[in-house]
Structures are given as C-alpha cells and as structure tokens.
Amino acid sequence: MTDHREAGLRALFVTHGGPGIGGGHISRCLALASALGECGYPVSFAVNSGGVGLLGARAEEAFVSDKLFSSDPAELPGLPEMLDGCAFAVVDSYEASPEWLAALASCCFLVVIDDLADRPVGPFASVLLNHNLGADRLRYDLAPSSLALLGPDYALLRPEVSCWSRRLGEGGVLQEEAVFFVAGASDVGGVTERVLGWWQPRWPHLKAVVGPLMDGESRFRCRGQAEGKPNVTLLEAPENFFEEMARSERVICTSSVTAYEALALRKPLAVFQVASNQEGIGAAIEELHLGRNLGRFGSFGADEVEAFLDLAPLVPPAVVNPKGAKAAASALAAFFERGER
C-alpha cells in the first residue's frame, strides 16, 4: 500500500457533533480515519466547536468552525489551506446540502457518508458509503465511475470492536448476567434517567452509560435515580466502553452506530429511536431477526423493557463486519490509487 506522506497527500474529514447532534458522525469518522492511517493516508479534521472535544488527540490540529455547513467551504478562513494537497475529503453530516457538496467537490474529490438517501449526492460523490442494513435497496444517483460501499460489511466501527469480537470468539471473555444500556453521547430526550427509574430489583444488573456530552443537570438526576439500587451501575463516559459491552449478556441502545457495535459483538439486542434517522435501522434489525425493536422513545415503557428481559437471550447471526472500517479504507485507497474517480 502506498504511503502518501511522501507525496503530501492526505484525507480531510468534515463532520460535526455535540449535545444537539450526538457523537455518531464523529465516532464513525474516527474509525475510518484510523483505518485510512493504516493504509498510508495522513488525516485531518474540520469540525464544529461542539464536536472538537470528541476527537481526542486529533483535536489539537483540527480546523474548528461553527459555520462549516452554512458557508461556502472555499470562503471559510483557514479551510482552503487544509484542502490544499487533499487527496479527498470525507463528509459526514445531514446538513451538507447539494449546493455545499458541489462547492467542496470543486476543490477536491469527495467521499460522502450517508444514511438516508434523502438528498442528491451522486453528482458530487466519487465514493458513497452507507454502512446500514438495507443500504443496497436505496437509490443513489451515482455516476458510473463512482464507487458505492453499501451495507454492514463496511460498518465504521472503532478498532476496539474487532479486538473484543476476536476475544469473544475465542472464549476469552468472562460474561456477566448484565444489561448494557446506551442512549447516546448526549442522550437526547433524557432516556437514561427514565430507564433508571423503571429498573426493578428483580431485573438483571444494569450497566447504564452516561455519555460524554450529557449535561451536568442530567447527570445529577441520573445519579439520583440510580442511588440505592444495588442492581444498577452508572458508567460515566467509561474508557473501557467496549470491554463493558463485551462482558454484558445483553445490550439495549439507540439504533445507531452503537447498535452495529453490539451486532458485531453478537450481543442479544433491543433498540429504540430518539431521532428519525434511526427508525430505518430499528425496523431492519427487527425485520432481519437481529434483535427487538422497541420503537421511538415515548412509545414504550417499563413493560416492554421487561418483556425483552424475559426472553431467552438470542445471539444474532454474524451480519456486521467487526473490521468494516478497514474494509472501507482499503476499498477507498485502492479506488483513488487506480484513479477511478
């Protein structure tokens, strides 16, 4: 594989996150960035101020602007310099309009990460990546020369998922009779607090993740709901997130990137939705018998959660590639090195 550092070529990720957006866009961009680094591409990021804290060590060199998707990218001070010498840009945002994508495509080749096929991206995307279940049934207006990477073979999961998937397969992980609960980095809608209030003494041990973007008042209320419940543990932005998931018997989470992480680890799964872009994923998970879809939060309650807990744990089939980010990065690198764009 070519090392593009000598040629000065790199990949630029343009995305966003934060309390009102969540962390999914940045999470999957980080996964792909790590894999592209292994393919010889240096990477850099352009993000909003709300998302820069999710970049970890990559935050130090990131371009930060809250006008990323509302201004012509060529006119944002500092961004044109980042585009200079860019082999391609990876865009992950529902706010990237066709006009904005066209403007960026005039500066460099584009890789568009999408979930919904709700806006025209084909005229501007050299590569379209949609890692969702059922992505192959969506209609994208791609040019014949463009590359489509569709479905969970290309799931953009962080490297730790592959590690824990292997360890689980080897039988080297001590399983706990516990439920791992995740409502997202920012927990839009205050789901964690409600679920903590529902949790009964007769139910299994609950490991509830408090995401890194949850505000202080919500954290305080979650601690109050968990207090005095011996079968509840709060995990506040845990560094060992994937270890805790791997050791748990079941997972309840939003039908988002987290659901794909759970499926890659082949965990008995129940999902719910807090945003419209998650609804198709939840429906596909139930349709394909990969887990239980509880529905939009607010449409179910403690009884539905208990019904899931009463079911014998159903291990889903291996439909999500734990090394999907590496598969996507390898396909991207090969595509651009062949010049098929």
Q: Crossing angle for the helix pair 159-169 and 24-38, nearest 10 degrees?
A: 80
Task: Flag whether pLDDT at 4 surpasses 60.
Answer: no
Burial class (CB in 10 A: 0-12, 13-18, 19+), 68: buried
Residue 8 has pLDDT above 80, yes or no: no
φ and ψ of 285, to 5 deg: -60, -45
> How far is the C-alpha of 294 from the C-alpha of 303, rounded, in Å?
11
The sheet that has 63-64: what strands, in order across it? Answer: 63-64, 43-47, 10-15, 86-92, 110-113, 127-130, 147-150
pLDDT of residue 336 exceeding 70? yes
pLDDT at residue 6, as a whole number:
46
- Tens digit of pLDDT for each residue in 247-295? 999 999 999 999 999 999 999 999 999 999 999 999 999 999 999 999 9
- What the block records as the tokens of 100 is 């904005």
Does position 58 have pLDDT exceeding 60, yes or no?
Answer: yes
Domains and their CATH numbers in the chain: 10-157+323-338 (3.40.50.11190), 159-310 (3.40.50.2000)
Task: Read off the pLDDT of each residue in 171-190 and give the average, rounded to a whole number.
Answer: 94
- For the cut 70, the answer to whether the pLDDT of residue 3 exceeds it is no
Average pLDDT, the chain: 94
Count, residues in the chain = 341
Would you say residue 1 has pLDDT above 70? no
Q: What are the tokens at 199?
A: 């949790």
pLDDT at 339 (0 to 100): 77
pLDDT of residue 287: 97
**Is a pLDDT exceeding 90 seen at residue 122?**
no
Write the pLDDT tens digit of every residue in 74-83: 899 999 999 9
| CB contact at 8 A, 300 and 294 | yes
Tell me the average pLDDT across 21-30: 96
pLDDT of residue 191: 98
CB 193, CB 262: distance < 8 Å: no
pLDDT value of residue 55: 96
Q: Using pLDDT thresholds of 50, 70 and 90, give the confidence band for residue 338.
A: confident
CB atoms within 10 A of CB 202: 8
> Does residue 340 register a pLDDT over 90?
no
> What mean pLDDT do residues 101-105 have?
95
The set of residues, in sequence order, having a beta carbon less than 8 Å from that of 197 and lying 6+ positions away, is: 225
Q: Are 44 and 61 in contact (CB under 8 A)?
A: yes
Compute the average pLDDT of residues 181-186: 96
Within 199-240, residue ranges assigned H as helices are 216-226
Please report where in the chains the tokens 């993740």 appear, as a residue: 209
The mean pLDDT of 152-156, rounded to a whole number, is: 98
Residue 210 has a pLDDT of 97
Q: Is the model's pLDDT at 127 over the cut of 70?
A: yes
State mean pLDDT over 129-156.
Answer: 95
Residue 102 has pLDDT above 80, yes or no: yes
Percent of the chain exceeding pLDDT 70 equals 97
